[in-house]
């Protein structure tokens, strides 16, 4: 038609296109990862969702005892912490480091801690080890049971991936959450992982003596966990500090040629998580755990505190001698404040 014949036709030349891309800093880049529709959320939407959730939690948490406002989350831990940097000669092209079995760096397990708004850890940490099957063998189960007689603050399970499934998460509710909350009403804050969003599972497991559900489940909106989940925002950084300090202790590094001295077995994973939970359960870390809630904007108050490095690994302890009088110090106990060497802390 006459209307269409009068439409302006524009054909971009190669020079025009090149200049356009240059002026607006546009380039052809390789796609790093694909995202789903749920992931394609603008930062503004994420921040708005996080603020709404923070306001909600601050309002309803007033109806609960702070001891029963609980956040839980999983964190991945390597059997051997990856060491990505070391000292060497300037200009050296190939930097190599022996750290023992390479599978222990690439293979991981899951630890699940739970902390309350009052600044406490639940009595046990839930650990899912990575094994060849979804069950321990007879010999391994016997070894694990013997170790758990010593590490009474750990609940152990396993899977092929080392990650939790819905059924394993139900074990966490049975063995960690339920013994702590008892018949008390409590507010339970979790992220949007699909394995822990089924309210029916909570209602079946978490009941009082009158068979009434006790759990008020609140799910953090997708993509908001780095903003408003206490475990993610601050707490797990302190957990990783202790794990790295233990696995990279000079006493361990100096014996790296001896495979039996490497802290990368399932027994070491259990012992490390037990010691980490024990240290962080000390009353001296109460204000630090409360700060995790403040940093997530789920609480309004905070107090000055000492973190793990300042309390357990202060710089002035390394020129002191252990209470045994035989070795240099490694850590200051958060409970008794004694200066301990690695042998007294980890082995004895």
Is 27 among the domain residues?
A: no
Residues 135 and 178 in one domain: yes
The pLDDT assigned to 252 comes to: 65
Residues 74 and 127 in one domain: yes
Rg value, the chain, Cα: 25
Is 320 among the domain residues?
A: yes
Collect all residues with Cβ–Cβ distance below 8 Å to 252 and sequence separation of at least 6. Answer: 246, 261, 262, 263, 342
Residues 215 and 238 in one domain: yes
Residues 178 and 123 in one domain: yes
Residues 132 and 275 in one domain: yes
Residues 76 and 180 in one domain: yes
For CA atoms 153, 158, 161, 166, the dihedral sign is negative
Q: What is the CATH number of the domain that holds 155?
A: 3.30.420
Quick one: which of 346, 277, 290 has its CA closest to 75? 277
The pLDDT assigned to 318 comes to: 84
Q: How far is CA 335 from CA 56, 70, 120, 282, 285, in A?
A: 36, 23, 14, 6, 10
pLDDT band at 97 (very low <50, low <70, confident <90, very high): confident
Is 6 among the domain residues?
A: no
What is the mean pLDDT of the segment spanning 257-280?
A: 85
Quick one: which of 289, 295, 291, 276 has its CA closest to 334? 276
Residues 163 and 267 in one domain: yes
Tens digit of each residue's pLDDT (9 = 90 or more) over 293-343: 999 999 999 999 999 999 999 999 988 999 998 888 999 999 999 999 999
Is 341 among the domain residues?
A: yes
Is 143 among the domain residues?
A: yes
Is 278 among the domain residues?
A: yes
The pLDDT assigned to 341 comes to: 93
Tens digit of each residue's pLDDT (9 = 90 or more) over 124-167: 999 999 998 889 999 999 999 999 999 999 999 999 999 999 99
Residues 138 and 113 in one domain: yes
Mean pLDDT, the chain, rounded, equals 90
**What secondary structure does DSSP assign to 24-52, as a single string?**
TT-----------TTT---HHHHHHHHHH
The pLDDT assigned to 88 comes to: 86
Percentage of the chain exceeding pLDDT 90: 70
Residue-number span of the structural domain to which 150 is assigned: 64-84+101-254+262-301
The pLDDT assigned to 31 comes to: 85
Tens digit of each residue's pLDDT (9 = 90 or more) over 233-256: 999 999 999 999 998 887 665 555
pTM of the model: 0.85
The pLDDT assigned to 51 comes to: 96
- CA-based max dimension of the chain: 100
Q: Which residues pair with 339 in a beta bridge?
A: 332
Tens digit of each residue's pLDDT (9 = 90 or more) over 29-41: 888 778 777 666 7
Burial class (CB in 10 A: 0-12, 13-18, 19+), 258: exposed
Is 90 among the domain residues?
A: no
pLDDT band at 104 (very low <50, low <70, confident <90, very high): low
Residue 119: both structure tokens together: 């600044």
Q: Answer with the residue of higher pLDDT: 1 or 199.
A: 199
What is the mean pLDDT of the segment spanning 101-129?
A: 89
The pLDDT assigned to 39 comes to: 65
Is 215 among the domain residues?
A: yes
Which stretches of 244-326 are assigned E, i.e. beta strand?
none
Q: Answer with the residue of higher pLDDT: 6 or 153.
A: 153
Quick one: which of 6, 190, 217 has its CA closest to 112? 190
pLDDT band at 264 (very low <50, low <70, confident <90, very high): confident
């Amino acid at each position: 038609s006459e209307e269409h014949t009068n439409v302006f036709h524009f054909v971009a030349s190669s020079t025009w296109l090149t200049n356009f891309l240059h002026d607006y800093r546009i380039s052809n880049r390789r796609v790093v990862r694909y995202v789903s529709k749920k992931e394609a959320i603008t930062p503004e939407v994420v921040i708005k969702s996080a603020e709404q959730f923070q306001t909600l939690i601050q309002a309803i948490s007033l109806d609960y005892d702070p001891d029963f406002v609980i956040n839980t989350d999983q964190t991945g831990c390597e059997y051997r912490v990856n060491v990505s940097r070391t000292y060497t000669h300037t200009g050296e092209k190939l930097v190599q480091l022996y750290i023992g079995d390479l599978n222990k760096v690439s293979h991981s397990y899951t630890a699940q801690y739970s902390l309350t708004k009052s600044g406490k850890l639940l009595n046990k940490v839930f650990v899912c080890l990575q094994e060849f099957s979804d069950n321990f063998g007879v010999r391994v189960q016997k070894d694990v049971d013997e170790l758990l007689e010593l590490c009474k603050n750990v609940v152990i399970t396993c899977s092929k991936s080392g990650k939790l499934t819905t059924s394993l998460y139900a074990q966490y509710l049975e063995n960690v959450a339920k013994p702590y909350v008892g018949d008390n009403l409590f507010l339970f804050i979790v992220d949007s992982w699909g394995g822990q969003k089924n309210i029916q599972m909570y209602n079946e497991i978490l009941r009082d003596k009158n068979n009434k559900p006790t759990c008020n489940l609140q799910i953090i909106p997708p993509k908001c966990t780095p903003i408003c989940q206490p475990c993610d925002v601050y707490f797990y950084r302190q957990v990783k500090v202790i794990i790295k300090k233990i696995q990279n202790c000079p006493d361990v590094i100096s014996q790296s040629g001896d495979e039996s001295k490497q802290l990368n077995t399932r027994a070491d994973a259990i012992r490390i998580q037990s010691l980490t939970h024990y240290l962080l359960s000390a009353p001296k870390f109460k204000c630090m755990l409360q700060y995790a809630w403040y940093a997530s904007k789920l609480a309004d108050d905070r107090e000055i505190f000492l973190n793990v490095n300042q309390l357990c690994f202060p710089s002035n302890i390394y020129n002191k001698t252990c209470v045994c009088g035989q070795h240099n110090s490694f850590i200051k106990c958060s409970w008794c404040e004694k200066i301990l060497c690695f042998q007294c802390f980890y082995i004895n």
